[in-house]
Amino acid sequence: MSNQSTPVKPGVVTAARIILFVVCGLSGVLLVMSLLGIIGAFLHPEGPDAAFATVGATTGGVLRSFVLGLIAIVLLLVAALRIGKGGTKNHLVVRLLVGGGGLVSVLNAVLTGESTAYMGFVLPLIVLMLLQSKRSREWFAAMDAPMRNN
């Protein structure tokens, strides 16, 4: 057994993790508000199609947007939780999850025509850039070293 201490997590990794948690939290709040709107539409006396038609949406479009938003949040949340573990394999998994969450957000924006949904792509892109910094890559690689020495 080695007495090596674990490497100190650089600020860019911490910033990436915080950004992901904030994006997930804010997106979660918006998703809950969307869910309440969907429930309200289904309780509308004339049905959900009539309720969504007043804002120029369809029931299928709203439900599709809700599901895509939920998928993006889950991908980004899992990535945020995995960042703290370190390791080169985990670094790859986190980048794939963040990239996937960003792509699902873009798909959602394209399908719904909402330009505000692109924020779900811009912030994951920033996180990917932070995770690709030299200090970040070195930290993820250094986190493998204590595991090999055990």
pLDDT in tens, 24-48: 999 899 899 989 989 998 998 898 8
Per-residue pLDDT tens digits for 94-127: 999 999 999 998 888 888 777 666 677 788 899 9
pLDDT at 127: 94
- On whether the pTM is more than 0.75, the answer is yes
| Sequence-distant contacts of 72-78: CB under 8 A, at least 24 apart | 72/27, 72/101, 72/102, 72/104, 72/105, 72/108, 72/120, 73/24, 73/27, 73/28, 73/31, 73/101, 75/100, 75/101, 75/104, 76/20, 76/23, 76/24, 76/27, 76/101, 76/124, 77/20, 77/21, 77/24
